[in-house]
Amino acid sequence: MSLMILDKGALASLVNALTADYRVVGPQAKGSQFAFGPITDPAQLRLDYNTTILPPKKVLQPPRERLATFTMQGEPRVEPVVETDPTVLLGVHTCDIHAIRLLDKVFSQEYPDAHYLTRREQTIIVGLECLEPCDEDSFCKSMGTLTADEGYDLHLTDLGPAYAVDVATEAGEQLLSRYSAAREAADSDVRRMNEVLSAKWPRFTYRLDFEAAELPALLSTAYDHPHWDELGERCLACGSCTNVCPTCYCFNVFDEVNMALTEGERRRRWDSCQLDEFARVAGGENFREARSARQRHRFMRKGKYIYEKFGDLGCVGCGRCIRTCVASISIVEGFNIIHSTAVGGSGQ
Amino acid sequence: MTTSIYTPEMARLVDVEQMTELEKLFTIELPGGRDLGHEPGQFMMVSVLGVGEAPVSITSSPSRSNGSFELCVRRVGDVTNALHRSQPGDLVGVRGPFGHGFPIEKMRGKDLLFAPGGLGLAPLRSLINQVLDERGSFGRVIILYGAKRPQELLFRDELEEWVNSPDVDCRITVDRGDETWVGHVGVITTLFPDVSVNPRNTVAVTCGPPIMYRFVLMELLGKGIPETQIYLSLERRMKCGVGKCGHCQINSLYCCQDGPVFAYAQIKGFEEAM
């Protein structure tokens, strides 16, 4: 819609003003790392973060949330619960913006999920252009997520003394005009932003040895690849990779009741296809029993299945699963190994 | 007013019938006697509040709805055990119907071969009774039903009707007989050699324990029935029923939405299917 300029000195007062009316969530320090958390003081906000432990999906699809409340006394009754809170999500890197766009498709297609979508509607996303790679584990450049044209309301690019603010939506425009004194960008600002954006590209490296667009076709021929067995030997089936993944959305649903057994809540929480019981039915049959099959399933979802269903790859190259894996399993290495030693075999 | 695809509707259990040691038949009425509007092969998500929710295939036929529907449930997990403790008059939570059922339109004019094993009769019964209620629209109806033991046979009254009906060729076998059993003994595949079919004009439908599918498929393919005319109903763990939670995935397919009924030709290349 328009490009605005926000002096860095004005950021604190903007954040401060927002906290009065919104739940503000942004990157902040957590030990030696960073995490998205509630910002109550502008000083907590660390827009210089590299990456966060958990992706911002935790704001839109919380690790645990209520789906319904029910009473079990007398005639049982059940009431849906949609938990939401007007939120400004600050400082979302472009890989995570791409991931949220995918989650939007997942939860809106076919059977719309009111829990996610209501929260999403009430969340204003302020993106943040990455000018430096997070670390050696990220591979956003290979996955085409180093920049984003959409999926945010406002998007910040650090120009040194000020941020260029790409105003992408009406909601973003209203927020900026109401809470800040941003000015319209001059030609010189636009030139400066283009310089900054051009200069960032050489700092990032390609980590995938081939085009990401080839992934679905490559994986179509890799169902029987020996790499899955190798991963199965190493994987501890802890589920960390899927927990930290910005596009993993699988969930479990369970009931919790009070001590008097008179009322309770139906909740959902993140689940992981890497856990042993994920595909096991009550009769005992486990349809994905081997760890190798579960790792294959994760790779297939990231590089093929999600693409086939939603038109976007399920991996945005954030590198979180690589950083968190205690068995040093790397999805980008895995993709490269499969590419260099493609052996055939189709599991669809 | 807040609505959610995950919120069950409370429906009344109007009848509970003990069918075998492990299976009960539940007759459920929606509020206001509303018609469920399902197609044979679809399933419901069934809740016992405080315990949880589980997917259950609908065993009644749309042609016999009478303002209620039936679920045949084996007690095997938390939810199904809790459901078995329910009494007529109790309320249970239901969502659905979900998924793709049997393509009954493609079956009209064809000979039908049903091969249910054990509890696999439950989803197939919905289709069988629909077919029998429109008997003139179909060719031969062959039912080859196998159970482990005589006392595990489901829907015995209907089995007897089918066996005695001139409109149906129904054959029953048990893996192991007992002193009262005078029928056929052997696994379900031992029923196939004596049955001849016109393969081009036959549609086969099967459902049973995971181990059964490959052997039944070999028999069906051995008779020359095309892969596109063999339908299977598959079981998976499900937590949503609407293609989101991920538990029921079969390679790239979602059993809850793409299935639970699949043509063999459709899933032949999907290694996780069986």
Contact at CB, A253 and B52, closer than 8 angstroms: yes
For chain B, the average pLDDT equals 96
User: Residue B14 is which amino acid?
Assistant: V
Q: What is the DSSP string of B44-88?
A: EEEEETTTEEEEEEB-S-GGG-TTEEEEEEE--SHHHHHHHT--T
Q: What is the DSSP string of A117-152?
A: HHHHHTEEEEEE---S-S-TT--HHHHT-SS-SSS-
How far apart, in whole angstroms, are the C-alpha atoms of residue B135 and residue A318? 59
Mean of the pLDDT values across residues B207-228? Answer: 96
At residue B66, does pLDDT exceed 90?
Answer: no
pLDDT of residue A348: 53
Does residue B24 form part of some domain?
yes
Do both B193 and B137 map to the same domain? Answer: yes
Domain count along chain A: 2
Burial class (CB in 10 A: 0-12, 13-18, 19+), B225: buried
Contact at CB, B52 and A254, closer than 8 angstroms: yes
Last-in-domain residue among B71, B98, B125: B98
Q: Which tokens is A54 given?
A: 């958990």
Q: A265 to chain B: nearest residue by CA?
A: B50
User: Residue A243 is which amino acid?
Assistant: N
Do both A243 and A144 map to the same domain? Answer: no
HSE-CB for B228 with a 13 A CA cutoff: 3
Burial class (CB in 10 A: 0-12, 13-18, 19+), B274: middle
Looking at the predicted complex, does its ipTM rise above 0.85? Answer: yes
Report the run of H or E that residue A90 belongs to, with start and end: strand A87-93
Q: What are the phi and psi torsion angles at A24 (to 5°)?
A: -105, 125
Percent of chain A with pLDDT over 70: 98
pLDDT of residue A181: 86
Domain count along chain B: 2
The CA-to-CA distance between both ends of chain A, in Å, stands at: 42
Do both A10 and A152 map to the same domain? Answer: yes
Does residue B246 form part of some domain?
no
Q: A79 to chain B: nearest residue by CA?
A: B7
Last-in-domain residue among A147, A172, A203: A203
**Computed from CA positions of residues A182, A188, A190, A195, in that sequence, does the dihedral angle turn out positive or negative?**
negative
At residue A344, does pLDDT exceed 80?
Answer: no
Do both A222 and A199 map to the same domain? Answer: no
For chain A, the average pLDDT equals 95
At residue A133, does pLDDT exceed 80?
Answer: yes
Do both B134 and B175 map to the same domain? Answer: yes
Last-in-domain residue among A181, A203, A225: A203
Do both A248 and A109 map to the same domain? Answer: no
DSSP at A244: S
**CB interface of A with B, residues 117-176, below 8 Å:** none
Mean of the pLDDT values across residues A75-93? Answer: 95
User: Residue A27 is which amino acid?
Assistant: P
The CA distance from B118 to the nearest CA of chain A, in Å, is 13
Band the pLDDT of A22: cuts 50, 70, 90: very high
Query: Global pTM?
Result: 0.94
Contact at CB, B242 and A111, closer than 8 angstroms: yes
CA B172, chain centre distance (Å): 17
**CB interface of A with B, residues 106-125, below 8 Å:** 106-107, 110-115
Q: B236 to chain A: nearest residue by CA?
A: A281
* Residue of B2, B247, B262, B264 best to disrupt the A interface, most CBs of A under 10 A: B247
Do both A178 and A40 map to the same domain? Answer: yes
Domain extent at residue B187: 104-233
Q: Which residues of B touch A271 (CB under 8 A)?
A: 239, 245-247
Do both B213 and B123 map to the same domain? Answer: yes
Does residue A71 form part of some domain?
no
DSSP at A207: -
**CB interface of A with B, residues 61-90, below 8 Å:** 67-68, 70, 72, 75-82
Q: B80-93, pLDDT tens digit by residue?
A: 999 999 999 999 99
Do both A133 and A22 map to the same domain? Answer: yes
Does residue A78 form part of some domain?
no
